[in-house]
Amino acid sequence: MIDKILVANRGEIALRVIRACREMGIRSVAVHSTADSDAMHVRMADEAICIGPPPAAESYLSVPAIISACDITGAQAIHPGYGFLSENAKFVQIVEDHSLTFIGPTADHIRVMGDKITAKETMAGLGVPCVPGSEGEVPTADAAQTIASEIGYPVIVKATAGGGGRGMKLARDRHELDVAFSTARAEAKAAFGNDEVYIEKYLGNPRHIEIQVFGDGKGNAVHLGERDCSLQRRHQKIFEEAPGPVIDEPTRTRIGGICADAVARIGYIGAGTVEFLYEDGEFYFIEMNTRLQVEHPVTEAIFGADLVREQIRVASGLPLSFTQDDLEINGHAIEVRLNAEKLPDFRPSPGRVTQYHAPGGLGVRMDSALYDGYAIPPYYDSLIGKLIVHGRDRQEALARLSRALGELIIDGIDTTVPLFEELLLEPDILRGDYTIHWLEEWLSYRTGEA
Ligand code: ADP
């Protein structure tokens, strides 16, 4: 069994992992840049070690610094959190080569799922429904025209190496396609150093539904239902809920079973998320994330399971602590992502938090690394906390979210809290009636009005 884990991350997710370690009697090691010497994860871990200057490329992304930190502290395993090195197959290979344990899937699985074409081919081969589109890379504008006329317009040109919504271009007809093809390639080349693109049918008004899966690396896997993450700004999720407002039990069992079976067959180990667009009752696979997701707490809330604990268990060679039959949904959970950003244009707003009070009470969980007097450094992601509420049903969860937002105090900086207060007044949100375009349309309508 692992008895010391190095947490290769910062902020709320580093705290999240440290908490699981503490409950399991495992020692934790925090790593930090010089900008994070006063960060809460540094205080909460059993040990802390500085790994470099503020820029992430020289600290949280520095593979030699992280491997050396394991050497110095005697940590046997690394938990990567999300972001940073969590889906970097080369890093995982190096960790394995140093006889350390990576708490996550194998380098091979990360590589297959990190490339969208091989991910789609693999999943299609395992019986997972995919968006109709090209078989693999589309090398020329002529080939793009042929495929698009076969699948029908509109189509979307996407980068194989894509992420964060970059390198994606919509084409409504054959004239738009030539431009979309060349700009998607240029953007992909600039952003990822790889100009390979592929083509998919563009879905007009889908929801984003993702399935949480867990494999033990020995050919067994379970699913923990879905999360609806359709509320997105610039393809970034901001509000997530479980169960999905439009998914019923037979649908959940069917798609969950397909996903669990697919990852079991490839011998997947650890937590994973199979992402789909969902339209007119059909699921279309878009990608698989081979890590713990930011929004994992809504799943934890409705299943009463600790997903980080399970990650550590399977990485240690232990079985999952539940079977599919043990997993039963209890109530409804919602998460909102709180960013240090100034509305209406979401400009980053780092700085000193003069006063902080976290909401509490029944069914409220605040995952945040903030404290009174903390100076948020300008170098990293603007996520400063996640507020998660759990109720017996969706209506109770919504009322609890509104109540908890009212209790939250973050003074000294601008945050996205007012956005959620406004969203909770919208009839569509209260009814759960929204798609992946809802938030952008609502935001542009409001900006236009102002
Ligand atoms: P990334 O890895 O860049 O986030 P994804 O493939 O996960 O890219 O897609 C991100 C978002 O782009 C989706 O959540 C959806 O909003 C939109 N999108 C992707 N593919 C399609 C498609 N075929 N039709 C319509 N929208 C799409």
SS3 at position 367: strand
Whether the CB-CB separation of 165 and 236 falls below 8 Å is answered with: yes
- Would residue 77 count as lying in a domain? yes
Range of the domain at 141: 132-201
Mutate to test the pocket of ligand 1, among 277, 278, 294, 434 (most ligand atoms within 8 A of CB): 277
> What residues contact residue 405 under an 8 Å CB cut-off, 6+ apart?
336, 359, 387, 417, 420, 421, 424
Please confirm, yes or no, whether 291 is among the known catalytic residues. yes
Which letter, b or e, does each residue of 382-395 get, where b requires 16 or more Cβ atoms within 10 Å of its Cβ? bbbbbbbbbbeebe
Where among 26, 61, 84 does a domain terminate? 84
- Would residue 127 count as lying in a domain? no
CATH value at residue 376: 3.30.470.20
- Would residue 95 count as lying in a domain? no
- Would residue 99 count as lying in a domain? no
CA 405 to chain centre: 22
Residues 196 and 212 in one domain: no
How many folded domains does the chain comprise?
3
**What value does the mean pLDDT take over residues 24-32?**
98
**pLDDT of 100-110, one tens digit each?**
999 999 999 99
**What value does the mean pLDDT take over residues 144-148?**
95
Residues 72 and 160 in one domain: no
> What residues contact residue 324 under an 8 Å CB cut-off, 6+ apart?
222, 223, 260
Residues 177 and 277 in one domain: no
pLDDT at 46 over 80: yes
Note the helical H segments in 351-416. 394-407
Res 235: pLDDT:
87
pLDDT at 1 over 90: no
- Would residue 424 count as lying in a domain? yes
- Would residue 436 count as lying in a domain? yes
**What value does the mean pLDDT take over residues 22-29?**
98
Residues 244 and 169 in one domain: no
- Please work out whether the CB of residue 163 comes within 6 Å of at least one atom of ligand 1: yes
pLDDT above 70 covers a percentage of the chain that reads 100
Whether the CB-CB separation of 342 and 412 falls below 8 Å is answered with: no
Residues 372 and 399 in one domain: yes
Where among 84, 112, 142 does a domain terminate? 84
pLDDT at 45 over 90: yes
Ligand 1 center from residue 220 Cα (angstroms) = 29
Q: What is the rounded distance in angstroms from the CA atom of residue 50 to the CA atom of residue 35?
A: 10
Structure tokens at 85: 């090195």
- Please work out whether the CB of residue 204 comes within 6 Å of at least one atom of ligand 1: no
Give the model's confidence band at 14: pLDDT under 50 very low, under 70 low, under 90 confident, else very high: very high
pLDDT at 335 over 70: yes
CATH value at residue 183: 3.30.1490.20
- Please work out whether the CB of residue 228 comes within 6 Å of at least one atom of ligand 1: no
Ligand 1 center from residue 272 Cα (angstroms) = 18
Residues 314 and 273 in one domain: yes
- Please work out whether the CB of residue 139 comes within 6 Å of at least one atom of ligand 1: no
Average pLDDT, the chain: 96
pLDDT at 162 over 90: no
pLDDT above 90 covers a percentage of the chain that reads 95
Residues 221 and 348 in one domain: yes
Residues 187 and 223 in one domain: no
**What value does the mean pLDDT take over residues 446-450?**
70
275 Cα nearest atom in ligand 1: 7
Res 359: pLDDT:
98
pLDDT at 120 over 60: yes
Given the residues 291, 337, 365, 394, select the one marked as catalytic: 291
pLDDT at 201 over 90: yes
Residues 214 and 188 in one domain: no
Res 449: pLDDT:
63
Res 450: pLDDT:
52
Asked which of 115-119, 310-314, 392-396 is least confident by mean pLDDT, the reply is 115-119
Ligand 1 center from residue 100 Cα (angstroms) = 34
Residues 167 and 75 in one domain: no
Res 166: pLDDT:
80
Where among 182, 201, 220 does a domain terminate? 201
Res 139: pLDDT:
94
- Would residue 385 count as lying in a domain? yes
- Would residue 27 count as lying in a domain? yes
Residues 147 and 254 in one domain: no
**Full-model pTM:** 0.96
pLDDT at 417 over 60: yes
Residues 250 and 380 in one domain: yes
Q: What angle do CA 28, 29, 30 make, to 5 degrees?
A: 120
